[in-house]
Amino acid sequence: MKKIFVLLLSLLLITTLFGCGAKPSSIIKESFDEFKSLTYEEISSEYGFDLSGIVDDPEFEKLFVELLQDFDYEILDETVDGDTAVVTVKITSNNIGAKLQEGFTNALSMAFTLVFSDLTEDEITEKIAETILEPLNECEKTFVNTVDVKLTKTDDGWDVLEENNRDFYNAFLGGLYDFSDYISKLQ
């Protein structure tokens, strides 16, 4: 009887010590929480969206970060298969990509007129930047996506895969990857 008790106690101890590792869904939550504390520079560097060529304005940077970090999410499901996992997340974010596309389209339609105006090159650049960014002031949290986030288990725990998660990044970045695709098609 004593041996069975010791065995059960040992199993309980092992389960307690090794069964409490972070779940894949908790890694997603931590990633979102961390993202919500990043600065404009950190977001630009980490996600490759450097808009400084369009505008260098601290007010814009503040608005942009506020829009990016204003999203909601709900973890719907988690499936673990050995060293891989998929977490299904519903993300509701601001429609940033669509608003930038709207602004860019407006700027393209007015660019030809501006080139032949009496404005200086700096004034034209400023007017185009204002036109591109103006719709951002009308962003709404209407960009809703349900995405599967793929993770892999490493020695340090679960990591979100950089590749094959484009839909995930596009969802919580408010459609910025969609906007990037739009710009690429114009070139």
Domain boundary assignment for the chain: 23-186
Q: Is 80 exceeded by the pLDDT of residue 81?
A: yes
Q: In angstroms, what CA-CA distances link 49 with 42, 98, 106, 178?
A: 10, 15, 21, 12
Residue 53 pLDDT level (bands cut at 50, 70, 90) = low
Q: Is 50 exceeded by the pLDDT of residue 18?
A: no
Would you state the pLDDT for residue 15? 32
Q: Is 50 exceeded by the pLDDT of residue 45?
A: yes
Residue 20 pLDDT level (bands cut at 50, 70, 90) = very low
> What's the predicted TM-score (pTM) here?
0.78
Per-residue pLDDT averaged across 87-96, rounded? Answer: 96
Q: Is 80 exceeded by the pLDDT of residue 164?
A: no
Residue 2 pLDDT level (bands cut at 50, 70, 90) = very low
Q: Which of 19-23, 76-80, 167-171 has the lowest mean pLDDT?
A: 19-23
Q: Taking CA 84 as the corner, what is the angle to CA 83 and CA 88, rounded to the nearest 5 degrees?
A: 150
Residue 19 DSSP SS3? coil
Q: Is 60 exceeded by the pLDDT of residue 98?
A: yes
Nearest to 30, CA basis, from 84, 82, 87: 87
Residue 40 pLDDT level (bands cut at 50, 70, 90) = confident
Tokens at residue 129, please?
């930047």
Q: Is 50 exceeded by the pLDDT of residue 139?
A: yes
Residue 36 DSSP SS3? coil
Average pLDDT, the chain: 83
Whole-angstrom Cα distance, residue 46 to residue 38?
A: 10
